[in-house]
Amino acid sequence: MLKPSSVTGLLVLLLLASVLVSMALCYRYVRSVNGAQLLEDQAAHLQAQVNLANRYTAIVEAMAKDAVDYSKRNPAIDPILQQFDLKPKPGARAGGR
């Protein structure tokens, strides 16, 4: 059977080991959080760029739609629309690509 003093020594050793593990985990946690924070900043920056790109793409799509609508009144714009595949070229099969 262990002596009371050896039990105390063992407990103190275990306590020291736990403290060391806690310190290592704290350090790792802080580093991980900092790394994740950097990634979040990067993601937020990229998200802003993607949002801006989506906004301008939507504007150009609306502009193309208006141009197609305009072509119903004035077919002079058709060559431009056909060049950008917004309207089928004359002679092209309907529904064919």
Partner 1 sequence: MMPSEHSGISLRDTAPPPSLGAVGELEALRRSFETLHRRFQLSVAALILLLAALNVYLLNQVRTVHRRAAVLAQQITEMRQAVANYEAKSVPWMDKFSGQLEGFAKTHPDFAQVLDRYRRPGETNQAQRAKAGGAARR
**Binding-site ranges for partner 1 (CB under 8 A):** 4, 7-8, 11-12, 14-15, 18-19, 21-22, 25-26, 28-29, 32-33, 35-36, 39-40, 42-43, 46-50, 52-53, 55-57, 59-60, 62-64, 66-67, 70, 74, 76-77, 80, 83-84
Closest distance of CB 89 from partner 1, Å: 16
Q: What is the dihedral of CA 18, 22, 24, 26, to 10 degrees?
A: 180
Closest distance of CB 5 from partner 1, Å: 8
List, in order, residues 6 or more apart from 9 with CB less than 8 Å away.
none
For residue 68, give both structure tokens: 């197609």
What residue type is assigned to position 79 of the chain? P
